Structure 1
Amino acid sequence: MDVTAVKENRVRNTLRQLLLGLVALSGTAAAQEEASLVELSQYYGFLPVEIFKVEYRSHSLVPGDFNHDGKTDLAIVDDSHSRIDLLLQRASAPAKLEELAKVNDIRSHWRFEKKKIPVDREVPSLSAADLNGDGRTDLVYFGNPDRLVVRYQPASGEWTEKKEFRLADVQAAAWTVATGDLNNDALADITVLGKKSTYVLYQKKDGTLSTPVEFRNTGADLGLGMVQDLNGDGRNDLFYLAKDQDERVLSGRLQDERGQLGPEIQFGVKNPRGVALYDIDGQGGAEVLAIDNQTNRLRVLKLKNPQPRAGEPATRLVQYGIGSEGRDIGEAAIGDIDGDMLADIAITVPGGAQVMVFRQQRGSGLDLGTAYPSYLGAQQIRIADVDTLPGNEVVVLSNKENTIGIAKFAEGRLGFPETLATSGTIVAFELADLDGDNHPEIVAVFQEKAGRGPAKYWIGAVKRTVAGEWEKFKFAGDKTELEIKPEDTPQRLMAVDVNQDGRKDFLCILNGKAPLLLLTNDAGVPEPVTVSGGVQLGDVEPGTIEFGQLQEPALLIAQGSFARHVRLDEDRRWQVKDQFNSTETNAKLKGVATLDLDGQPGNELVLVDSGLNKLRIFRREKDSYLPWREIDIGKFPFKSTAVADLNNDRRDDLILIGQGRFGVLYSGQSDFELDELASFESSQKDAYLMDLAAGDLNGDGRTDIALMETENHTVQVVTRAHDGSLKLALSFKIFEEKSFNDRSRRGGVQPREGIITDVTGDGRADLVLLAHDRILLYPQDTGQAQSPPPMKELGAAGARP
């Protein structure tokens, strides 16, 4: 062994023995920690740092073999010069080193040969993969404002071959482009996180890319896209951060056995500072490595597959996006649209002149939705069999076009609505069987304005005859119009049995006033009635009213801090049968539903608390309903509830309709959850952990985690002990800086990026950092004595940025 190496080992062992002696004498936790660090640090080492000049605006370090020589190279975006730089790995130093432009310049290390690829757009995001099946690693980047560009690696020469795709509404941010196999065909695909939709371009067997497939987002701001197998089933999943109002939540879409991405799952981990995916435990599936923003701790999280939990509801919503025009959705209707005896969901999108249909697939739940053309401004929607033909129809009302129509599902799609002939302005409608023939009539509220005088309102209905013609429904005798006098403009019409006499009555929801009640008499005619005295319903919104089932059919109304079960008595006064209170000050109950969530006889009562972002579940205990469970729903933009069996398990599920999305709480299944395997808290004073990278930094076959700490500009290497805990193995300073009183003039968030990959060709992973205008390469030490570098290289190898 080299004499110098022998001396270094002796010094290291002497220091170790001295520190262990101090531990024995002092017994303090600090000394024990220092001794533990020394014990671990002897298994880690780096050769002298190698420095490479880039630019202050350089970003997006991406590893890959970019000249097909079997060695790992680096790609980095240089927006200041409108190019992508390829740093191609060399086996040895060239005969002639690069000339320095200025006297005080620092020469880049010889390790990489720089190759420049010009671009004609600003590039916020870069990724790499074999995107045409030729075995060579290609580049893909997003170019502002709307261009996805694939640059194919040539067999030799320049990177001139490229393919462009126009993608609208993509945020100019790093890591919005990711690559990986997203349909389990062993070919790399491209995913781009857009503002309203996530785009996936699937690679085809002929080496071409498909047209972009859109997956509708549940939020407007997604970022940090990654493709990895999260649940250990051997199929890659899509992982990202989704913004839920002012919070960023770990989210993802899992790939199913058909090779299709599913709905969005939010995992409840909010506002992480840095995130990476890496298989830490070696048991299949990548773990989520996240720096917690509140505690400044590193957390290692593993996705846990759903486990049956008898008598317990799911604890997290599965969410579905509505689409680019879905920020202002209309209403949702539940029913079998395609005739397969499974419940589907139809949602109107007024601004997009569309109806979104989410069809239930047997054995796999809802699909991700298909948009069908409909009326401009379509708002209200219902699903039922309103004619004499087999199957249900979709009835749609557009106030903007003053049109009501009926759409039928045929030949694999929902057709454009057939418009019904009407007179007057239609303001609201409902479906109700007025004549007992098991086919509901279309009941509507009509308006007619007479100059400056008050508007006239009436109730009318239409039904389809056996001959297939639509005709006006006759209430009593030949009367086809029932005049009503609401106190304000009607907004919605709801059919409910308010007095439990077996007949459908109607609540006409008004703008800013208590609902107008129409009670159906013995002749089947809805009559306006005045409710006086006793409890009043007050100003209610459509989403706050639900006709459900408790011990009996129940009309339920959410009203601020409580919900009431009400019934109209024989004297036509509202009576409160029961009241369900939230005792918390900031509670705002906006919705209510009933369904079986515990698998036991009888329904539970669910209150939607938009003030505290919770579902409050009440269960019947003896003779009363008591609080049972609370489920966090995040800042869900709630509009209304619905109940239906959406996974064909013969149990109803809870549906929350919101702006731009809807969520499902499945009653018969549990959730995917992130379980914490380990955590680490830095003992360094004022430490601020910002980002991280994972890989084997000492060649022992175990994964290490390099934490980038930006307050003191250090790297802390953490390893997983045999008991699964995380231990600090090594900590070192990256660069020094002047001490400024003004924190804004300090080094900033540096290092700003880091990866762990073998860029020296020795089979050992190295640490690569990006700080200021330098790439810093820390080659992993093999543990063998090294010959002194040539004098001409010392300036580059030993310098600090």
Structure 2
Amino acid sequence: MYSTRSSSSISIAIGDLNKDNRLDITFINNNTGTIGIMLGYDEFFPIQTTYATGTEPYCVAVGDFNHDARLDIVVANRDSNTVGVLLGYGNGSFENQATYSTGSNPWSVAVGDFNNDINLDIVVANAHDNTVSVLLGYGDGSFANQTTYSTDSYPLSVAVGDFNNDNHLDIVVANYDGNTLSVLLGYGDGSFANQMTYSTGYEPFPVAVGDFNNDIHLDIVVANFDDNTISVLIGYGNGSFANQTKYSTGSSPIALAVGDFNNDNQLDIVVVNRDDNTVSVLLGYGDGSFANQTTYSTGSRPKSIAVGDFNNDTQLDIVVANFGGNTVSILLGYGNGSFADQTTYSTGSDPQAVAVGDFNNDSRPDLVVANFNDHTVGVLLRYDRGALKDKITFAPADGSRLRNFALFDFNNDSLLDIAVVNYGTNNIGVLLGHGNGTFGNQMVLSTGLNSHPYSITIHDFNRDGQADIAVANYGSKNLVTFLGSGNGTFENQGRYGINFDFAPLMIGAGSFNKDGRSEIFVAYDDIDYVDVLVTYDIGSFADDVKHSTEHWPKSVALGDFNNDTHLDIVIANQFDNTVSILLGYGNGSFTNQTTYSTGTQPWSVAVGDFNNDTNLDIVVANRHDNYISILLGYGNGSFTNQTKYSTGSGELFAAIGDLNNDARLDIVVANDDNTVSVLLGYGNGSFANQTKYSTGYRPWPVTVVDFNNDTRFDIVVANFGDNTVSILLGYGNGSFANQTKYSTGAAPRSVAVGDFNNDTLLDIVVANFGDNTVSILLGYDNGSFANQTKYSTGSGPSAVAIDDFNNDNRLDIVVTNWNDNTMSVLLGYGNGVFTNQTIYSTGTSPSSVAVGDFNNDTRLDIIVSNGNGQSVSIYLGYPNEGFFKQMRLITRNGSRPKSFAIGDFNNDGQIDIAVANSGTNDISIFLRHANGSFGNQMAYATDSSPWSVAVGDFNNDTLLDVVVANLDSDNVGIFLGWGGCCWRFQQRHLARHYCR
């Protein structure tokens, strides 16, 4: 148990704040208005477990002697003339030793497979016999009787390696009284050749092998006890060695080990100096030579050494057995050849030797120590109970009344930062981490007057790859966001936000339905449900930019008239009898207009390639001339003079399409005499005489599409005088069936067609000038339509267009409102239903609207012709994301949910929710379906007042479990997942402290 020294530590988070690969704890002290940080540290090897050996255990080695994937121990018992084998259980404990006879006074032991039977064998140096003993392993943990081989005088150390590259292990022995090394080459059947000797320094003791010059041949290093040197003998790869080269060490070198301590891929040497109480590190150059020693302090009378990565930082560390201090010393490596000061851990009496291995299969290196005077081996398991240093305190501000916080890397420096919620000062604070457990000064972001922020969550809400912050404000009952820049700074309260009916207590965020959009879960104070919010791009448009036209621009259309891939504009100017051409630059701006003459009172304009030259042409309906004008395009932005074709009386609108399936564009015109005229094109820019079809009273707008999916164009026309639309189904030969009428609102003045409910069938939207609405008529697959549904617009809706303005793959509507000089945007939900209008100001008397991307930013823009303003207005679109309520998850009456957690509880690839219900003493589980909806809650009883919930796999069965903190019961309950949609009964664990 660790004290926070606060009576109200209310929130906690975990992360590695100082980059030491240890988790640290951050918490809030509500009563003192501070943040507390406890840095984690590793206790490594605090407690040894001892096992009896023979007398005077002097050396130890490890290996798997019985093929059970668990490490075993072999120890040389010097005074018993035996080796003891302790078989491991794999949990850090061992069987009692089984002993095997050796020669007299065994000092050193090593293991290897000497007869190539994949079973480990043992070799022992017998000091008083001048022999080595080889004990061949049977692979079941037992060994054959020894076979002895002669050495030089007083062999004290032994090592193994393949010195002649024949894939058979050989033996090298350090002969203390002979001042030599003995090399015994192995035959691969467990027997060995007679020794070859090589001179060393005086009283050679420990020996080790490695490739010091990178020639793929093993070399030998031996420490000369009385010379205070080491000798390096370079191997030729044939079993013979060069004469020694000596390097100075400390006093009485008694043990050594080999490893790459500075990560240069060259082997280095570390030597134990008994009488100096030091270790010497000699860095290798990779050519067989070494730098001068660097020394580090150890405990008293160090006797043995081993290397391993003890703190999981991928750098080699050192462990030393201190005979005089009854300790082992750990020196952590920095990876550059230098080491930290030692940390010591208690052993038994007179630790003589140390070795490293993972004895309990937890992927952490453990230690085994031979305790000479205890006649035991001690096993020190790498133990990690999550020890914490005393807290460090950070005080954000007086009166801040901290409520919550989150850890994240906000400035992309790979260091964790902190965001804190300051309830009392109506702001949040961001403290950037330095990577050593300390933080910079708080950067304050206001959440609004009397907002009283309560909870915080981190996610990328605007999908720019940077972390943003969302804050739930208890006082102002809303959610605000701060959009991150990636350098640790934030935009003040971004465009995302939403108001709530109740005070929010807890929020969390993620992208749970795999559509890339953020979702937020909100739990409210004393309210029996949880809301799910989703980020949504509602789209928006910049203030209009006006471009001059001639007098009374009546209609507008778009096309690329000069083949530069940028959209251009054509405008019908009613009272000047012209059309204006404005060529686009592709950045949202346009050239000044160029005008071309038309007939009298041009009322509408449309664009298409009438002569199949790949250049766009223009058709104009002239209201008072009873003919249409055709202006053929040259493809450079200029046009021929008009060619006229007769129509009915007072034609108002023109539309184009291939009405007879001859791959040539035709024209249909709505006439003021209650007809439409069809003019079939010849494909050379000329047209046949008109054919008329009856419509309703005073047809105005007209368009052509295929309503009944028969690959033939049909006609829809809005009848201004009788509040209907007429549908004329096409036969595919240029002729049409009689009209079928459907009711609209009053004075329908414009019509557009699209699939509003994603059923692959075309629907109709009509702008009703007389009752300030638009009508939606959803289409059936036979060319008929449902009754209208109306949505309010501004006053006098005069024109309508459709497209996807917010890039959600759902069609939206834009309407110009003649009387109040506005346009209305209604976003579609994709099911035939639309949002309420968003209104934008236009010029005077907006009469026509069109949609296109004028600045090549993949966002659609809008152009409006202002009839009485002699201008067109251009509105450039931009993203504008916010939150809206997607669904509500109902808990039980009186449940008062306080916390929630998310995870895939039934392994179906969908993210589910667990909610802690403080009022009904249970948790609710909501399983998510593949369509994004949630099933009904499943309730599981807890103890009193569950306040916080978290999830994790606590029993390593790959199924998520749930843990709940029960406030009034002072305990936590654990529900183990059962592979589907249910959990086992909770297990209770006492909690001496609780937090709110």
Q: TM-score range by the shorter chain?
A: 0.3 to 0.5
Tell me the TM-score normalized by structure 2.
0.32
Tell me the TM-score normalized by structure 1.
0.40
Larger Rg: 2
Higher RCO (C-alpha 8 Å, min separation 6): 1
